[in-house]
Structure 1
Amino acid sequence: MSSGERPELGAVPETALWTLWYRAVAARRPDAVLRDPKAVELVERIDHAFADRFGTSGLQAQLQALRVGCFDREVADFLAREPRGTVVCLGDGLETQYWRVDNGRARWLTVDLPELVALREQLLPPGPRQRYLAADATALGWAEEVDRHHGVLVTAQGLLMYLPPMRVRALIAGCAERFPGGSLVLDAVPRWFSRLTLTGRMRSHAYQAPPMPWAMDADERGKLRTASPAVAAVRDVRPLGGRGPVGALLPLALTVPPFSTRRPSVVALEFAAR
């Protein structure tokens, strides 16, 4: 630990530290599947017993890195199509994606809880093309702050599983109707995982995962289209690469039931043009 910042966060906001830690664990490896020097830097600055609290699982770190890589590819592809587009990051926590994939021209808007925005402003001061907004992501008031002129991509990474299902559906519909021609990238835990969190049986080292009331098995992603007629298409975003046994088994996990249908998933939703 360093003698730097010491964050005090509630149960769900603490997940920002968990994801930051495992990105850093993954990125420290010489054969890393995710390069994230900013995450490594933050872990060294923050006064927190990361290893004692969250453990040091190499498997967990690699799986986290592969999930993050799915979001990075989607954002990079969007910025290749819309170099001056806007990336809206809901529930960004201490995510360092901006420093991994920014193209030097895009605009970035982070929307998160006040305590996390305050911590982010302290640890990751925004640059001239970044803005942090302390707001309830599900209230959709933030949508009025978004520049729509050059395309919009919304990300909800590690957020929706902590919301009631009806609020998830309303958020998807709200984004689809407010950003015609835009897109949303989200992730979901499978139903078996959600049940473990709801009964307090999902522990990792000294860390108790918060309840995750919203879940979706991978083969259910088509149902997301029913949130709004403005959701034009839904597609699976699959992790690429992997190291060692994870890399060898990943193709099977993605294609062979029941693993392929009961796995965590990253999904991209495309919105109809007005």
Structure 2
Amino acid sequence: MSGAERPELAAVPETALWTLWQRAVEARRPDALLHDPKAVELVDRIDFPFAERFGTSGLQSRLQALRVGCFDREVADFLAREPRGTVVCLGEGLETQYWRVDNGRAQWLSVDLPEATELRERLLPPGPRQRYLAADATDLTWAEAVDRDRAVLITAQGLLMYLPPARVRELIAACAERFPGGSLVLDAVPRWFARLTRTGKMRTSGYQAPPMPWAMDARERDKLRTASPAITAVRDVRPTADHGPLASLLPLTLTVPPLAGHRPTVTVLDFATRA
């Protein structure tokens, strides 16, 4: 650990280090499902016992890569349709998506808690089209920083499961009503997984996952529409793998009960345009 940065984060913000580590582990594989040289660079710069704290599970890194790939595809598709749009990343932590999918013209806004934003600013200084805002993602004051003349895509990756269910519903509704014509990409853990975190059973030898108050089984996805009349469509984003054992296992996980109804999900919510 020769890096100069020695982050000390609270339990939920520390998950930014966990996800960073998983991306770097996967990116170092010769058969990587996710290419993320920026994540590898960051892990090498940060003075933190990643392997001792989080372990080196190849399965965890692969599953993380599948989730990240879902978000990357949605953002890339949005930027292909709206090259000068704005991507708003809620609870972004040390996500390096900008360096993976940026098109050279879009605007990016990262919203996270002050301690996480401070660390991000030190490790990933923003470029001319990036802005970092230290704020609670559930406090919609950040919406005032978004250019309403541009198309907007909001991402909430690895965020909502750490919020109380009522706050999740409120945040979804607020986004739908404040960004007409926009979309929100979010992920959710299944209920069985969240229960394990709340009872302290989701742990490795050096790390225990924080409690996750909010969860959603895949079969419940359409209930998200009830958060606001401004939500016009709910779409499942399915992970893909073009090689390795997961390439053959994924179709079974996505279609065969009971696995299909109790798996982690990535979902897109589309918002109505203003009348």
TM (norm. structure 1) is 0.99
Aligned residues: 274
CA RMSD of aligned residues (A): 0.7
Structure 2 equivalent of residue 21 of structure 1: 21
The answer as to whether partners of 2:22 and 2:60 remain within 8 angstroms in 1 is yes
2: distance between equivalents of 1:218 and 1:201? 22
Partners in 1 of 2:3 and 2:261 — Cα distance?
A: 45
The runs of at least 4 aligned residues of structure 1 exceeding 3 Å deviation read none
Identity of aligned residues (%): 79
CA offset digits 1:20-60 (Å, max 9, x no partner): 00000000112111100000000000000000000001111
Q: In the alignment, what sits opposite 2:171?
A: 171
Superposed, 1:65-144 pairs within 5 Å as: 65-144=65-144
1:39 aligns with 2:49: no
CA displacement, residues 188-239 of structure 1 (integer Å, 9 cap, x when unaligned): 0000001011111110231100000000000100000000000000010000
CA deviations over 1:149-207 (Å, ceiling 9, x no partner): 12000000000000000000000000000000000000000000010111111102311
Q: Gapped runs of 5+ residues in structure 1? A: none
Aligned twin of 1:264:
264
C-alpha separation between the residues in 2 aligned to 1:129 and 1:244?
37
Tell me which amino acid in the other structure corresponds to 1:136: D
Assess if the C-alpha contact under 8 Å between 2:3 and 2:44 holds in 1. Answer: no
8 A Cα contact 2:88 2:109, kept in partner = yes
Residue 99 of structure 1: SS of its match in structure 2? helix
1:214 aligns with 2:192: no
Query: Unmatched 5+ residue regions in structure 2?
Result: none
Aligned equivalent of 1:58:
58
Mapped partners of 2:104, 2:37: distance in 1: 18
Cα distance between partner residues in 1 of 2:39 and 2:189? 23
Contact 2:234 2:269 survives alignment (8 Å): yes
Deviation of 1:103 after TM superposition, in Å, equals 0.2
The TM-score, its normalising length taken from structure 2, stands at 0.98
